Structure formats: C-alpha cells, structure tokens
C-alpha cells in the first residue's frame, strides 16, 4: 500500500503524479475463504478490515453486487452523532463516534471527519421535554449533549431564524459538539484500501444468489454470479436487501425496506457551519466541503426496493428548510435520490448470530446507519471472529423481539425515523 | 407520486392514502394458544418481498376504507387493487 503523507505527496508531485497506483487490487474470487462478507458498503468493508486487523483473519472476501460504496454508503447525508437515549444505544453509537475520532489516522486515509456539531431544534413543549431528557440521559452515559436557548442556538448557527412568529418557532436546541459529518465515499474507499493491504479480496460485480449449507444446516459458502465461493463463516451486511439475502438461508427477520430520500443544492460559499436537525418538521441539513447544502428527507410511506421515492416527500422537507432558513428560498436543488433502508420494529439494529451456524447478520440500521459505520463494523467483525457478540452488541439480537427486550429508539427517538 | 386505484373511488394521488403494510395477516383466532415464536411471527416478521407484494392501503382522505393491492416493489407498479375479504387476483408481471 502506498502510504499518504506530505512527503509522499511531494515525491509524487516531483514525478508529475504519474506514480500513484490503484488503491486496492481488482481481486478475482478464490474457491474458498475463512470468512465472507456480503455487501461492500462501509459496514461490510469495515468488518473485513477489522477481521484482518484486530482478529488476524486475513483470508477474507467482500462480495459486492455493484460497486463498493454504491448503496446507502453513497446515498446518506453523512451525519454522525451518538446522542441516543437508552444505555445500550449510547454505548453502541458512542463506540462508533470514538472510532470516528481516530479513523483518518488509523486508515491513513482522510475521511474528512469534521466535528462541527449536531444541533437538534425544539419547536414545542414536547420537543423541549424529550430533548432535555436526552441531554440528561446522555450526560449520565458520558455522551456530550447540552441544552441551548434560541439565542445560543442562533449564535452557534447564525443562519437560523429564531423569530417567534413563524409556523414552527425555535424554542431551544440540543447540541452535541462531538457530532458532525464525514466524507461518505472516503469511508468506503479508506476501509477498502486498508483491508486490501491486509490481504482482503474486494470483489465487485459479484451478486450472491444462494447460500449453500451442509446436512446439519451449517453454512458451506455462497452461490454467486461468479460461481460458488466456499466459507464456513458468512457475514451479511446488505442493508435494504438483507431480507432477500437472508431469505436464501430461510432466515426471516423483523425488517421492512423503505426508500429514504436525500438531495443536494447547487454549491455555494461556506454559509452553514454545523448540522441542524428538526424532528418536528422533519428536515436536516449540513453543508458539504464542496459547498452543496446536503438535505435529508423522511422515508416514503410504503416498502420498496426502487431507490427512489415520491417528490412530495422531498418537497415537504424543502418547505420546512425554507421556513427555518429563509435565505435559502431561492437556492436551486441539483440532485435527489433514494436509498433502501431496512427498518426494525424498534428502530434499533441487529448485529448478531443467526439460527444458522456460520451465518451472521448486521442489519436493521434503518435511517441511521452511516454514523455507526466504524462501530458496527468493529462489533460485527468481533461477532464473526469469536462466534459470540461483543458486550456492546450483545443486546442487539434477533431474539429480542421474541423475548421482549427491545431497545425502543422508535418511541424515544432523538430524531424522527 | 403514485396514482393508486381505490376499488371504491377510482384513481387518486398517493397523498390521499395511508399505507397499511403486508396484507392477509390473520389475527390469531385463539391468542392464548400462541407461543412466543408464533407471536413474534404475527407481530414482527414480514415478507419484505422484492417483487410482487400484497399489501393494505387505506383511502384515508377519501372514502376512508381499507383495501388491498398487489404492487411490484422493484418498480412500484400497481398490478391490481381489490377489496378486503377478496382473494388476491392472479397477475402476471407487465
């Protein structure tokens, strides 16, 4: 692996930048591996990286039906935060946030993690009570979160309209200063490059079409569009298509897949210094380093695999944005798109073993998987390598729905889902 | 925006409708007889089909009645809508 540094940049500059090599190999599938990860998004590539790095399992393949980072990793609004209500959630998401804080150095790849602060607006009494409860719960769990008055919120984000005479006035805000954004593509590429350097095969254009099992039901490997690939351990990290892949092994999961839309504006000069979210009117926004305003909408109301959604969903969000930030009324939107998100009944993920021996699953991240990428990958690798969950993901089983131990972030949502 | 054909009112825009999830899930006749696995299936496990999906819709801002639909979740194309209590019609993909 060519390491990136100021010195290497200088050296390649002297060579007119002709000496850079591809950052990972174009690997061809081998007949067998010690572990296979299905899904080449940030979660899957990261899991392969941690399998190799932390657990010494380097004979690993990542199978991706399209191109790496082309699913939800490349379709989200890149927001990172850990201000979740319940103890299990705070542990999980803050584990991820702590890994984010060192990720660029660890991967020798600039993932452009920017702790610019995530501010959640309160528009009514209910919001105030819920957010203050979150602030207190977070602080007890060692997660930073603080309450701001409308004036303090405007000081933090000068574009914010705190006029009391609007449809949804800002009555206060909860601010997590350690939250922020990262460059989503760089996360996939950084993990791919680092995993490849440790020996992991990243195989694109390779769709899994079946899961082969022995007489006792244990996993033997996967059938793919590029032939059979053997492995006694298969980890599925396929986001919206998890139900489809797991169905190949007759495992039913409490998941439903919905389109979730996002959109970006034309690029403009730096004007928006942080991430602002509003649950009540359902909008969230930040500005990318390229200058585009990155705006997230809600899910469509019906299940779908189409990676698009109704325009009225995006319109609804833009109306809210224009109310909160009147100066953006005349901005033009450049692109919008959808991703397919797998939603669980309690809106918390599943990172667990399954009833099938050798089959593991990391799914159910719903509308908020990007922020958890390093943490989910790290814990999923642990679960696969040790054949048992890490204490942090131990509560995130499939069986919690049967046993009634849900982690109900749907009811406690710090953000609308 | 989807155009949905309410069996009672005809074709209307999606905004008039509410989604009701997977159709033809029967409420247990003897709830007390169900074990935990059965309850899990009834409450939480869904087909989440990639393909033709039988699902409930409600014409909330119209006649307010529930009905069922067959929709291809790969394209969002509606293949049929039919009344509650009726069997799903035979359809072929367009």
Which residue has tokens 């584990």?
A95
Token pair for A362: 């990391």
How distant is the Cα of B23 from the closest Cα of chain A, in angstroms? Answer: 13
Indicate the pTM of the whole model.
Answer: 0.96
Determine, yes or no, domain membership for B89. Answer: no
Determine, yes or no, domain membership for B16. Answer: yes
- Between the CA of residue A75 and those of A107, A184, A388, B38, what are the distances in Å? 22, 8, 31, 36
Please give the tally of structural domains in chain B. 1
What is the extent of the structural domain holding B63?
3-26+38-83
Determine, yes or no, domain membership for B57. Answer: yes
Q: How many CB pairs under 8 A join A and B?
A: 61
| CB of A303 less than 8 A from some CB of B | yes
Determine, yes or no, domain membership for B33. Answer: no
Residue of A44, A60, A35 whose CA lies nearest to A358: A35
**Of B37, B45, B74, Cβ closest to residue A306:** B74
Q: Do A256 and B48 touch (CB under 8 A)?
A: yes
Per-residue pLDDT of chain A (417 residues; tens, 9 = 90+): 889 999 999 999 999 999 999 999 999 999 999 999 999 999 999 999 999 999 999 999 999 999 999 999 999 999 999 999 999 999 999 999 999 999 999 999 999 999 999 999 999 999 999 999 999 999 999 999 999 999 999 999 998 999 999 888 999 999 999 999 999 999 999 999 999 999 999 999 999 999 999 999 999 999 999 999 999 999 999 999 999 999 999 999 999 999 999 999 999 999 999 999 998 888 899 999 999 999 999 899 999 999 999 999 999 999 989 988 989 999 999 999 999 999 999 999 999 999 999 999 999 999 999 999 999 999 999 999 999 999 999 999 999 999 999 999 887 664 444
Determine, yes or no, domain membership for B88. Answer: no
Determine, yes or no, domain membership for B63. Answer: yes
SS3 annotation, chain A? CCCCCHHHHHHHHHCCCCCCCCCCCCCCCCCECCEEEECCCHHHHHHHHHHHHHHCCCCEEEECCCCCCCCHHHCCCCEECCCCCCHHHHHHHHHHHHHHHHHHHHHCCCCCCECCCEEEEECCHHHHHHHHHHHHHHHHCCCCCEEECHHHHHHHCCCCCCCCCCCCCCCEEEEECCCEECCHHHHHHHHHHHHHHCCCEEECCCCEEEEEECCCCCEEEEEECCEEEECCCEEECCHHHHHHHHHCCCCCCCCEEEEEEEEEECCCCCCCCCEEEECCCCEEEEECCCCCEEEEEEECCCCCCCCCCCHHHHHHHHHHHHHHCHHHCCCCEEEEEEEEEEECCCCCCEEEECCCCCEEEEECCCCCCHHHHHHHHHHHHHHHHHCCCCCCCCCCCCCHHHHCCCCCCCCCCCCCC
φ, ψ for residue A278 (rounded to 5)?
Answer: -135, 115
Predicted complex ipTM:
0.96
Select the residue from B40, B41, B48, B57 to test the A interface by mutation, using most A Cβ atoms within 10 A.
B48
Q: What is the CATH number of the domain that holds B9?
A: 3.30.2270.10
Q: Do B45 and A253 touch (CB under 8 A)?
A: yes
Non-local (6+) Cβ contacts of A164 within 8 A are none
**Of B1, B37, B73, Cβ closest to residue A402:** B37
Determine, yes or no, domain membership for B68. Answer: yes
Residues of A with Cβ-Cβ distance to B15 under 8 angstroms: 312
What are A188-206's pLDDT values in tens digits?
999 999 999 999 999 999 9
Determine, yes or no, domain membership for B94. Answer: no
């Amino acid at each position: 692996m060519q390491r990136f540094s100021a010195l290497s940049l200088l050296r390649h500059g002297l060579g007119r930048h002709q000496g850079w090599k591809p950052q990972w190999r174009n690997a061809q599938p081998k007949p067998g591996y010690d572990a296979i990860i299905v899904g080449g998004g940030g979660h899957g590539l990261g899991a392969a990286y941690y399998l190799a790095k932390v657990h010494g399992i380097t004979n690993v393949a990542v199978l991706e039906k399209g191109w790496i980072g082309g699913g939800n990793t490349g379709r989200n609004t890149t927001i990172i935060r850990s201000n979740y209500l319940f103890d299990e959630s705070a542990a999980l998401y803050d584990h991820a946030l702590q890994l984010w804080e060192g990720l660029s150095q660890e991967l020798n790849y600039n993932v452009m993690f920017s702790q610019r602060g995530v501010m959640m607006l309160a528009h009514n009494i209910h919001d105030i009570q819920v957010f203050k409860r979150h602030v207190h719960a977070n602080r007890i769990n060692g997660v930073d979160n603080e309450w701001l008055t409308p004036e303090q919120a405007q000081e933090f984000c000068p574009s914010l309209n705190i006029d009391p005479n609007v449809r949804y006035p800002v009555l206060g805000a909860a601010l997590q200063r350690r939250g922020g954004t990262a460059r989503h593509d760089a996360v996939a590429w950084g993990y791919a490059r680092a995993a490849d350097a440790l020996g992991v095969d990243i195989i694109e254009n390779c769709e899994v079409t079946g899961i082969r099992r022995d007489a006792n039901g244990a996993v033997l490997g996967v059938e793919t569009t590029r032939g059979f690939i053997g492995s006694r351990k298969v980890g599925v990290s396929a986001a919206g298509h998890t139900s489809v892949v797991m169905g190949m092994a007759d495992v039913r999961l409490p998941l439903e897949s919905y389109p979730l839309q996002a959109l970006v504006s034309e690029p403009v000069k730096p004007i928006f210094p942080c991430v602002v979210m509003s649950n009540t009117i359902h909008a969230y926004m930040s500005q990318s380093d390229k200058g585009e305003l990155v705006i997230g909408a809600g899910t469509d109301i019906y299940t779908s695999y189409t990676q698009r959604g109704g325009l009225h969903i995006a319109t609804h969000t833009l109306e809210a944005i224009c109310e909160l930030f009147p100066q953006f009324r005349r901005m033009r939107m450049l692109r919008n798109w959808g991703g397919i998100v797998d939603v669980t009944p309690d809106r918390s993920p599943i990172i667990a073993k399954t009833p099938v021996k050798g089959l593991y699953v990391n799914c159910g991240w719903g509308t908020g998987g990007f922020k958890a990428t390093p943490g989910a990958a790290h814990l999923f690798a642990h679960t696969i390598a040790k054949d048992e969950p890490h204490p942090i993901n131990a509560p995130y089983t499939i069986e919690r729905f049967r046993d009634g131990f849900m982690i109900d972030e749907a009811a406690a949502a710090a953000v609308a889902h | 925006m989807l155009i949905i054909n309410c069996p009672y009112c005809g074709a209307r825009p999606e905004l008039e409708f509410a989604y009701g999830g997977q159709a033809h899930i029967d409420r247990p006749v003897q709830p007390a007889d169900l074990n935990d696995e059965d309850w899990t299936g009834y409450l939480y496990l869904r087909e989440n089909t990639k393909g033709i999906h039988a699902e409930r819709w409600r014409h909330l801002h119209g006649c307010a009645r529930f009905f069922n639909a067959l929709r291809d979740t790969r394209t969002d194309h509606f293949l049929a809508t039919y009344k509650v209590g009726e069997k799903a019609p035979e359809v072929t993909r367009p």
